[in-house]
Amino acid sequence: MKKGLILVAFFICTSLAVSAQGFYFDIGHGLGKAWTLIDGDDLIKELKSAGKNVNEIAVDLSSKAGYGPFGNIPLYVVGELGGIGHRIYNSSDYIQFNSYIIGPGVIFYPISLIQLGLSIGYSFAANKTDISYYQMYNSKEGFAWNISAAVDLSRKNHGHLIGIKYFNANNTLEVSNVGQKTSMISIFVKYTHRKKVSLLF
């Protein structure tokens, strides 16, 4: 219920921002390297040390909406809805750790070509597997944050971002009450719409 209310609030804020003159929006995805620790243990290392042949893939999805700039100050206040999926798999089975973030953030352009971003907020995990005997738990409330730096490829209101992001989420799992910590470094590509200004050019 609480997750649903947060999502509704996010989309209401997005709708209000759309009508604003300084509407900011971006959406995109990335790929990279992730680490998931359950109760302090790295499952990938444990499986490989046990002689298991496993692979992994990590995907980042994110959308931000908000308002800015404020006069000639190249600062944008946004809300972010995003998350990462960290899948561990072999030819027949998989385990996937999904960690999400919903919360406020800021975007800043020190120069016209460079975008810097920071978001913090509420987090939850929704994990899954196709291994019948392996029990996966979702999470209680948690905390997540991310930082990013990107090259903005257009001087117009419509543009594309290519950048790097670090994501970190900390959650406590239901039933077991153990901690899940997931982090990821990704290279991402995004479409963005914004009124663009910068401090220098």
Tell me the per-residue pLDDT of 141-161, one tens digit each, with 9 for 90 and over.
899 999 999 999 987 788 999
Q: Which residue has the higher pLDDT, 45 or 10?
A: 45
Phi then psi for residue 196, to 5 deg, are -105, 130
What is the average pLDDT across 74-101?
93
What is the average pLDDT across 63-79?
93
Q: How far apart are CA 179 and CA 176, in angstroms?
A: 9
pLDDT for 39: 87
pLDDT of residue 175 exceeding 80 = no
Token duo for residue 69:
């700039």
Q: How far apart are CA 34 and CA 157, in angstroms?
A: 33
Average pLDDT, the chain: 85
DSSP three-state, residue 174:
coil
pLDDT band at 8; cut points 50, 70, 90: very low
Say how many CA atoms lie within 13 Å of 115 toward its Cβ: 31
Pick from 35-39, 40-44, 144-148: least confident: 40-44
pLDDT for 49: 81
Is residue 132 a contact partner of residue 120, using CB atoms and an 8 Å limit? no
Q: How far apart are CA 83 and CA 13, in angstroms?
A: 19
Nearest to 174 by CA among 144, 145, 141: 141
Q: How far apart are CA 184 and CA 86, in angstroms?
A: 9
Residue count of the chain? 201
Longest Cα–Cα distance in the chain: 59
pLDDT for 17: 44
pLDDT of residue 65 exceeding 90 = yes
> Check: CATH 1.10.357.10 for 2-193?
no
What is the average pLDDT across 64-92?
92
What is the average pLDDT across 105-118?
95
Report the percent of the chain where pLDDT is more than 90. Answer: 55
Q: Which residues contact 161 (CB under 8 A, 6 or more apart)?
A: 26, 28, 115, 150, 151, 152, 153, 188, 189, 190, 191, 192
Q: Which residue has the higher pLDDT, 47 or 29?
A: 29
**In the 8-state DSSP scheme, what is residue 8?**
H
Token duo for residue 83:
């998350």
Token duo for residue 31:
């790929």
Report the percent of the chain where pLDDT is more than 70. Answer: 84
Paired with 27 in beta bridges are 63, 191
Give the predicted TM-score (pTM) of the model.
0.84
Q: Which residues contact 51 (CB under 8 A, 6 or more apart)?
A: none
